[in-house]
Amino acid sequence: MGEGNPEDNLQRVLFEINADPSVVSMKPFADITSHSDFPIETEVLFMLGSIFRLNNVILEDDQLWVITMTLYSDNEHGLKQVLSYMKDQNGNGKADLATLAKIVWKMGKFNLAEKYYLRLINEIPSNDPILIKLYEDLGDITSHKGDYDASIQWYNKALEIREKNPSFNTEKNTKIVDVSEFIDYRNLKLEKIIKQSYSRSRIYLGQENLIDPDMKIVVKEAIIKKQCTKLNLSDNSITSKGAFILASGLKNNLTLQVLNLCATRIGDSGVQYIAKALSINNNVIKVLNISNSGLMDKSAEDLAALLKTNKTLIYLNLAGNEFGDEGIAILANALQNHNNTLEYLNLSYNKWMTELSVEFLIIMINYTQALKVLLVWFRDLSEKNENRLKKAAQANKKARVTVNNSWMSLKYQFIDW
């Protein structure tokens, strides 16, 4: 069997395999001696996907490793359960290269996952709709690695296929935005502000005339390198494109707990990106301020999905937006039935909220699990409904409802800074 070479980190290995043809219904191996270039040897070929159980590994006196294994079938009880779970979690019901790529991705082996994805892309037809999903996943993987230039390029490849083939239907329904023009962008003033900030601290970037391309710098320098714990981006001209870039950094955030996007222009599309990122990475952010950002009832659906999965969010400021009664109903339902962590909710000054929302809010107050402070400000709220809200809060004994009064907002202003 030759000699092992310690200097090359090579060892001699002999595999002893116990293979019983009756174990599986399909033939898992075959004698290929007659097809071998070495007819004096007996050769056996195992089918791709054959499953072996490792029995023992020993080192013989002559420095030969002997590994003994037994052939098993897919129907072996314990193994079948594991494989079924892996298929359900990582693929469409079959274990293939894409499934393997997702598994190593979840293990944090981003380079290996990227390698598998690139191999898979080379093996499938150029008109296969699954390419959209593969390119989007590569965008997520390279984002996790901190390679935002590559991430943007992969996202745009997915976008190109979507635009050429609008009929393609893939798992991701989040619209990809074209941000390729941001790749070479610089903002020396912004870079200097972040560089002068302390690591793992608050970074204040409010009213700095920031625009969408600046979010690439914010993600790379503030969130990734400085690992800031509080980030204020209020009163800047950030749109959904900037929110898309920011969301890519939030997916693998480990330190940022407070995010202030008050008085930006991210709108419903931007909130969709942010909410999706915080639903994936659901155990870090505690405070989210997206007041005065042009949000309508569509955002309520994405925020409700966030409230159902996020485990740490305790403060949510949605004041000054354009939610109507439908949006309030969606948020109230999520809080009363699916959330047990949110403590503070500000719904004041929402443009299209009428007294019909009082009914939804009262039910929410009666059944909420954790809410302690609710701020609401209605136009033309009747004294009767104002008293009903306050009575519901008194009955709850945990929640304090402030109706058409701003003092409570000032009390909690330190969270927003």
What is the rounded CA–CA span in Å between residue 375 and residue 161?
Answer: 45
CA of residue 262 relative to chain centroid, distance: 22
Task: List, for residues 217-231, the tens digit of each pLDDT value.
Answer: 999 899 989 999 999
Mean pLDDT of all residues in 400-408 = 60
**Residue 181 placed within a domain:** no
* pLDDT score of 59 more than 50: yes
Residue 215 binned pLDDT confidence (cut-offs 50, 70, 90): very high
* Domain identity same for 252 and 190: yes
Q: How far is CA 280 from CA 139, 223, 337, in A?
A: 15, 17, 20
* Domain identity same for 138 and 190: no
**Residue 282 placed within a domain:** yes
- For residue 161, give the 3-state DSSP assignment: helix
* Domain identity same for 131 and 56: no
Task: List, for residues 133-154, the tens digit of each pLDDT value.
Answer: 888 888 878 877 767 678 777 8
* Domain identity same for 324 and 220: yes
* Domain identity same for 140 and 43: no
**Residue 80 placed within a domain:** no
Q: CA end-to-end span of the chain, whole Å?
A: 71
More confident residue, 202 or 373: 202
What is the number of domains present in the chain?
A: 3
* Domain identity same for 94 and 63: no
Q: Domain holding 172: CATH number? A: 1.25.40.10
What is the rounded CA–CA span in Å between residue 255 and residue 39?
Answer: 63
* Domain identity same for 44 and 163: no
Out of 17, 47, 75, a domain closes at: 75
**Residue 82 placed within a domain:** no
Average confidence score pLDDT of the chain = 82
Task: List, for residues 294-309, the tens digit of each pLDDT value.
Answer: 999 999 999 999 999 9
**Residue 381 placed within a domain:** yes
**Residue 81 placed within a domain:** no
Full residue range of the structural domain in which residue 164 is found:
87-176
* Domain identity same for 35 and 120: no
Q: What is the pLDDT of residue 168?
A: 59
Whether the CB-CB separation of 298 and 325 falls below 8 Å is answered with no
* pLDDT score of 290 more than 90: yes
Q: What is the pLDDT of residue 408?
A: 41
Residue type (1 letter), 82: V
Sign (positive or negative) of CA dihedral 23, 27, 28, 32: positive
Copy the structure tokens of residue 150: 């590559």
Q: What is the pLDDT of residue 3?
A: 60
* pLDDT score of 204 more than 80: yes
* Domain identity same for 105 and 59: no
* Domain identity same for 171 and 197: no
* Domain identity same for 127 and 192: no
pTM, rounded to two decimals? 0.60
* pLDDT score of 412 more than 70: no
Q: Domain holding 280: CATH number? A: 3.80.10.10
